[in-house]
Structure 1
Amino acid sequence: MTAGQTIEHNGLQIAAVDAQALVRAEHTNPFSILGPHEDGEGLIIRTYQPNAIRVELLSAETGESLGEMDQPQVPGLFVARLPVKQKYRFRIRWAGGIQETEDPYSFGMLLGEMDLYLFAEGNHRELGQCLGAQLMTIDGVPGVRFAVWAPNARRVSVVGNFNSWDGRRHPMRLRHPTGVWELFIPRLQPGEIYKYEILGQHGILPLKADPFALRTQAPPDTSSVVADPLNYSWSDHEWMEQRQQRHAHTAPMSIYELHVGSWQKEGGADGRTLSWHELGERLIPYIKDLGFTHIELMPIMEHPFGGSWGYQLLSQFAPSARYGSPHDFAAFIDACHRAEIGVILDWVPAHFPTDEHGLARFDGTALFEYEHPFEGFHQDWDTYIYNLGRTEVHGYMLASGLHWLRHFHVDGLRVDAVASMLYRDYSRKHDEWIPNRYGGRENLEAIDFLRHLNDVVATEAPGALVIAEESTAWPGVSQPTREGGLGFAYKWNMGWMHDSLKYISEDSINRRYHHNLVTFGLDYAFSEQFVLPISHDEVVHGKRSLLDKMPGDRWQKFANLRAYLSFMWTHPGKKLLFMGCEIGAWREWNHDAELDWYLLRYSEHQGVQTLVKDLNNLYRNEPALHEWDGRPEGFQWLIGDDAANSVFAWLRSGEHGVPVLVIHNFTPMPRNGYRVGVPMGGVWSLLLNSDAEHYAGSNAGTQSEVRTEEIVSHGEAQSLSLDLPPLGTLILRPESGGF
């Protein structure tokens, strides 16, 4: 049989080249051969069922047999003619049993022209409900519509257990010119696993998971899973209505960052990972008791390697199966909202891993990533960089962000590695990067994406936050896009984090020489809307735990930690603390084990936890500590130049309530009778002493109330004489009202 020949059986012809292409799984347009085709004399029906023993046509309406299909020269290629056009289905006999199903090639175009247009334009907001595997009923037939983007593929097939992973069975239709392939497979049910078999320009690729999958197998398995529609019945209406007010810059925000898989385990340190339901039962009361306003989850999108902590993820629309189903995840967020706890997700639009089943050279070409390694490969992380200059990739990531915010009611996205997105020369040698079209180092495509993301979120997910983990001096990260900024709600204050940790890690006798590490942060504290982050990155890879960074003996370590946390909670900026820091963990964080909860048997660790609880409650209840976090009028230096004693004092104020006085003594020497000038006279009440006995401190420090004296100090007409505890913080409030 040669390419120019035809195969004929009972008057039904098919070109040999088409038959050969079907057999080799290389046919670029299977719908032109398979399925029903009118020829003026009736309906010709062809189906290719490799390894099938026989195929019988049945009436779709009555189930009666319309006759057995013939199998001419090509094994597996069955053909029949019906005298009149009518609906039908197949009865297929396999060696292992009988299957009845409709013909996937009897269905017309599946995706609407507007869907395809918006996708190609990069503006389709609901790709998670458009592409991928979507349960639906077409012409009364239930099944799954598959759709995937692979514009440079020669052929794409859906494969799974339902077709013995045989790419010849379900080749898809290409929709020109978008490069999207589609196919409706009747009778498939939720829970079916699948991948795509892709024939690239140079041969068959490793099987690919679905970039648009809504559900996946749990690692180490890598298949996508047909998901039930979420259809979750939400009960967080009150929270969602109030969210915009709760997320105002003037509102308190105290974030507890955690890794879901290692916060706590069932059965102890080496036990089983908690499900979303179990996590909710344990975590929510804990967060509520400690007074945090939000939790931030390290990436919970499906990721193949647990050691990446989720930051090298492949499924931008699917929560990890490690912890349960998408429905379970929605229920967890709903429960958090009912407890008045917001949920922020870490989200990664910067890069993705090189796993062969993932996005890497998805259709045999650099599709999601840049082609050139100077643009498309992160040497530091061994990952590929999203080509956000490509409209389809831009839209893919935009739809992913909105997916979590809208469908799962997530309250915010913390965008990971923003600095690596902004600069083309990020972590590269001078001859290992490609300038932008103007010859500069800025990644113009990524900048456009970030601005677009923030504008779209503000419009389509009102009240949701987008927070930048950005470590450079890029201007206007949290300024509105209309003013030339990037449009984020907040920026992580990495400068404050580095400087303050360096300062507190110094031996107390040397802190006088590093006084500026504390004062310098106030020079730029109001240039952005900041979050003060003590995150997971600061307690891994040999950096030691937060407690173990502290100098001195055991007592001094705990006192330093309490003073540092008090410094953080009284400094301008919203708060973020990584799990374990609130109990004074000694060990670095280990993603394979739970936190060392046994430490809470000891009074020092209980004291740190109690202090965090009291700081959160004070922070939330005192408007002066949060209302003007991002405004210079909310902060006034009282003492910023006492390097010799390592003492700092400032006044925090807000639009409502009374000001709050904060004094830090970062030496182990008590300082009795230390004078602080204050702007108003009368009685000042002690709100918190980090050295108090119930925090396992020495209980040194000033009494519960102090009255001002008419003694000029620090430019003020009256002052307080205070007993400063060693390595401690005092927080006081005047009883006579505001200024």
Structure 2
Amino acid sequence: MPITKLNISRIQQGTHHDPFNVLGWHQQTKDESWLLRVFMPAAEQVALKTGEVFSRLKDTDIFELKLPVRTEQHPVLRWQSKADLSWLESISPYTFTALIGELDLYLLGEGRHYDAWHILGAHLDVVDGVAGCQFAVWAPGVQRVSVIGDFNGWDGRSLPMRSRGQSGVWELFVPGLEGGWGYKYEILGAHGQLMTKADPYAQQSFNRPETISCIPVPSQHDWQDRVWLAQRAQFDWQHKPISTYELHVGSWRRHPDGTFYSWAELAESLIPYLTELAYTHIELLPIAEHPLDESWGYQVTGYFAPTARFGLPDDFRAFVDACHQAGLGVILDWVPAHFPKDDFALARFTGETLYEHPDPRRGEHQDWGTLIFDYGRNEVKNFLLANALYWIDEFHIDGLRVDAVASMLYLDYSRKAGEWAANQYGGRENLEAIAFLRELNTVLHGRFAGVLTIAEESTAWPMVSRPVELGGLGFSMKWNMGWMNDNLSYIEEDPVHRKYHHNQLTFSQIYAYTENFFLPLSHDEVVHMKGSMLDKMPGDYWQKFANLRLFYAWQYAHPGKKLLFMGSEFGQWNEWRDKGELDWTLCQFPIHHGVQRLVGDLNRLYQNEVALHQYDFNSRGFSWIDCHDSDQSVLSLMRNSDEEHVLAILNFTPVPRLGYRIGVPQAGRYQELLNTDSDYYGGSNCGNAGELHTQDVPWMGFAQSLVLVVPPLAAVFLKRVVS
């Protein structure tokens, strides 16, 4: 086909929307010969490897070669570099046909391509016997998209991509590229804006401060967790114990020079530590790529790329695999509520709003300085849905803790009157976000049985953890922020005043079974001048530790799954500092080591005693013995399974309660399973010498009763011994 001056100019200037219309093979209608065109700004001269020499179009870097027949679909080009006159070899990308199928494009447009990471992004491939990399990106409404990197001198004119029409997808197969090359996309916007962007679907990135995407090498990891995955698919999580250690990877341990532990080093030290403490799960603060350490991972710029801070993607796979082989599940903190404004990432990706909602009243978190996804746009919704599935499919993650769900549900979240736009019915509910969350949970649970989704939702939104088909959002569980706030407020009171706040301990039973609740003592409670868990406790040195041990016991006695942030398990004095490591030297002191021992024993008790976990989400698993003894600040309760009971008696004052009588459901001998005042944990060793016997004295509605010692600022757990 004839080439016009306009086409030449647009190719040279990088404004041609369809480079394949000019470059590559073109059959001539007059004589049925073939014309091969290439645009090579870095070339002095070009020839085929077989010897035929291209002619240069006048005053251009476009080279042409006319052949009577097309002997090869993808001939090897020999070209001389302008820079040093050396001779190099390559194959033109413009001799390859489109690789993305029409069905893929249709599903992307519908928002239902749940495996989109296999199509978009950068993928090494062999096409027609030629090795290279296939690039694809969604960037609708722009004039041109190019792949740029060291391989083309970051020149956006040299590798313009193929437009796939109304889908907004651009693709290009570039022969000769290998894993490890850095790349970005250069985008010429609708109004002439020129931008360079990291790949939204990049599965690997370079380490900060670089913002470059990296062509990933296909995974070589040989998974050894088949037994774990089979058991996970049958996991009856509603009736099994889940105790979770929340972890910020960058500040758990560090090397003496301040550098991070790698995934391999973390596996070597963390997994035995948590196995000894009998945790069932680890929850990682976000580990998707993010440029700023101080964001703790919550301002994500690379949603599909495990951060390069701690190693390669296969290193993270090996870490998860090692956790599974040790019996530890891995939950990932996932951030679909917002993303940062960094100009190299998702923000105004095409020069216009794309991933963010176009209305700033719905598209920006003013408090956080971040942008809000446009959940009503199919391709954006697809991006997030595919990302959630990606972490589970590619990295065998066992659950997602979904961050900031409340901010997604309400259009007026953290906004004053006049600063938000109502939905189509005049309400404050974000209907698109609600539909997204329901689809997320439906698709994820449908594909991956036993995988958990946990909502950080801080309001009274109903049925967060109820099935979608019943009108719920479909999450497995929800963080119980009410329990956390009420009980932390209570425990921070001086014991002399606690009797006036007794209802803060008991109020949670009003709503405890309206959701499947997680009881979180998370990183959010030990930062921003809130004090560490230990430092929150009132009283002198001894009382602080006693209060902390008592509070942890109360968390395990209360219905709901358990979560504790790192460092809290040994009573760190300082608030969490993300720039260093935990204060591990404290573990050398017996009283800190005692708290650590207690956390491990509470986990073992929780797992071994069915009554403490079988009905975490059902009222049949809990009953008060006495919740009214506010004058003495004592609670007594029973946790119940189908077969047996475990009793917990908690004294929230520093006064030992001697001869304290409680009613019990059965006569016999009761064993003291755990006493937080044991000197083994750093307590005063006040207790009941291991066991107690019932008396035929009716009490609190029971025919039998026990008389026991309730230690100061302590909890005891009792169980009837069956002879």
TM value normalised by structure 1? 0.96
Q: Aligned-pair distance for 1:361?
A: 0.6
Equivalent residue letter for 1:47:
V
Q: Is the 8 A contact 2:195 2:351 kept in 1?
A: no
SS at match of 2:305: coil
Distance 1:480 1:683 in 2: 43
Report whether the alignment pairs 1:148 with 2:151. Answer: no
Report whether the alignment pairs 1:218 with 2:204. Answer: no
Distance 1:201 1:482 in 2: 43
Distance 2:345 2:560 in 1: 39
Find the counterpart in structure 2 of residue 185 from structure 1. 174
Which segments of structure 1 move beyond 6 Å, counting only runs of 4 or more? none
Distance 1:655 1:166 in 2: 70
Q: Aligned-pair distance for 1:590?
A: 0.8
Which of residues 78, 94, 100 is equivalent to 1:111? 100
Find the counterpart in structure 2 of residue 653 from structure 1. 640
Q: Is the 8 A contact 2:233 2:448 kept in 1?
A: no
Find the counterpart in structure 1 of residue 269 from structure 2. 282
SS at match of 1:322: helix
Cα 1:318–1:340 change in 2 (3 A) is same
Find the counterpart in structure 2 of residue 498 from structure 1. 485
Q: Is the 8 A contact 2:206 2:213 kept in 1?
A: yes
Distance 1:570 1:589 in 2: 26
Distance 2:579 2:80 in 1: 49
Find the counterpart in structure 2 of residue 5 from structure 1. none
Which of residues 350, 355, 376 is equivalent to 1:389? 376
Q: Aligned-pair distance for 1:167?
A: 0.2
Equivalent residue letter for 2:497:
N
Q: Which moved more, 1:350-359 or 1:239-248?
A: 239-248
- What are the residue-to-residue correspondences of 1:186-585 with 2, within 5 Å? 186-267=175-256, 271-585=258-572
Equivalent residue letter for 1:730:
V
Q: Which moved more, 1:250-259 or 1:308-317?
A: 308-317
Q: Aligned-pair distance for 1:247?
A: 4.6
Q: Is the 8 A contact 1:197 1:204 kept in 2?
A: no
Q: Aligned-pair distance for 1:448?
A: 0.6
Find the counterpart in structure 2 of residue 3 from structure 1. none
Distance 2:172 2:674 in 1: 65
Q: Aligned-pair distance for 1:655?
A: 2.3
Distance 1:651 1:309 in 2: 39
Distance 2:87 2:586 in 1: 61
Report whether the alignment pairs 1:160 with 2:149. Answer: yes
Equivalent residue letter for 2:242:
M
SS at match of 1:318: strand
Find the counterpart in structure 2 of residue 92 from structure 1. 79
Report whether the alignment pairs 1:79 with 2:64. Answer: yes
SS at match of 1:282: helix
Distance 1:244 1:652 in 2: 27
Distance 1:245 1:524 in 2: 29
Find the counterpart in structure 2 of residue 61 from structure 1. none
Q: Which moved more, 1:37-46 or 1:350-359?
A: 37-46
Which of residues 99, 113, 125 is equivalent to 1:124? 113
Q: Which moved more, 1:201-210 or 1:622-631?
A: 201-210
Q: Is the 8 A contact 1:247 1:465 kept in 2?
A: no
SS at match of 1:148: strand
- CA-to-aligned-CA distance 1:542-598 (integer Å, 9 cap, x gap): 111000000011100000000000000111000000000001000111111110000
- CA-to-aligned-CA distance 1:506-530 (integer Å, 9 cap, x gap): 1111111111111001111111111
SS at match of 1:394: helix
Q: Is the 8 A contact 2:234 2:449 kept in 1?
A: no
Backbone CA RMSD of aligned residues: 1.1
- CA-to-aligned-CA distance 1:56-84 (integer Å, 9 cap, x gap): 123xxxxx21x221112233111121121
Find the counterpart in structure 1 of residue 699 from structure 2. 713
Which of residues 39, 42, 55 is equivalent to 1:51? 42
Distance 1:367 1:310 in 2: 22
SS at match of 1:351: coil
- CA-to-aligned-CA distance 1:238-285 (integer Å, 9 cap, x gap): 111111344520000000000011111122xx5210111110000100
Find the counterpart in structure 2 of residue 8 from structure 1. none
Distance 1:109 1:724 in 2: 75
Equivalent residue letter for 1:707:
H
Equivalent residue letter for 1:681:
A
Find the counterpart in structure 2 of residue 69 from structure 1. 54
SS at match of 2:692: strand
Find the counterpart in structure 1 of residue 653 from structure 2. 667
Distance 1:663 1:297 in 2: 33
Number of aligned residues = 717
Q: Aligned-pair distance for 1:701?
A: 2.1
Which of residues 593, 614, 638 is equivalent to 2:601? 614
- What are the residue-to-residue correspondences of 1:631-646 with 2, within 5 Å? 631-646=618-633
Find the counterpart in structure 2 of residue 696 from structure 1. 682
Distance 2:264 2:483 in 1: 36
Q: Aligned-pair distance for 1:601?
A: 1.0
- CA-to-aligned-CA distance 1:666-705 (integer Å, 9 cap, x gap): 0011111111111111111000000100001111122211
Consecutive unaligned residues of structure 1, counting only runs of 5 or more, are: 1-11, 59-63
Q: Is the 8 A contact 1:528 1:630 kept in 2?
A: yes
Report whether the alignment pairs 1:679 with 2:665. Answer: yes
Q: Is the 8 A contact 1:152 1:365 kept in 2?
A: no
Q: Aligned-pair distance for 1:125?
A: 1.4
Q: Aligned-pair distance for 1:474?
A: 0.6
Q: Aligned-pair distance for 1:99?
A: 2.2
Distance 2:240 2:97 in 1: 53
SS at match of 2:196: coil
Distance 2:609 2:503 in 1: 28
Distance 1:429 1:230 in 2: 48
SS at match of 1:620: helix
Find the counterpart in structure 2 of residue 736 from structure 1. 722
Q: Which moved more, 1:644-653 or 1:35-44?
A: 35-44
SS at match of 1:547: helix
- What are the residue-to-residue correspondences of 1:170-181 with 2, within 5 Å? 170-181=159-170
Distance 1:117 1:100 in 2: 37
Find the counterpart in structure 1 of residue 13 from structure 2. 24
SS at match of 1:667: coil
Distance 2:79 2:525 in 1: 60
Q: Which moved more, 1:41-50 or 1:129-138?
A: 41-50
Distance 1:634 1:13 in 2: 81
TM value normalised by structure 2? 0.98
Cα 1:247–1:596 change in 2 (3 A) is farther
Aligned-residue sequence identity (percent) comes to 52
Q: Is the 8 A contact 1:490 1:531 kept in 2?
A: yes
Distance 1:362 1:247 in 2: 42
SS at match of 1:459: helix
Equivalent residue letter for 1:148:
V
Equivalent residue letter for 1:455:
T
Q: Aligned-pair distance for 1:712?
A: 2.0
- CA-to-aligned-CA distance 1:421-452 (integer Å, 9 cap, x gap): 11111111011111111111111111111111
Q: Aligned-pair distance for 1:231?
A: 4.3
Equivalent residue letter for 1:731:
F
SS at match of 1:457: helix
Q: Is the 8 A contact 1:54 1:69 kept in 2?
A: yes
Cα 1:686–1:578 change in 2 (3 A) is same
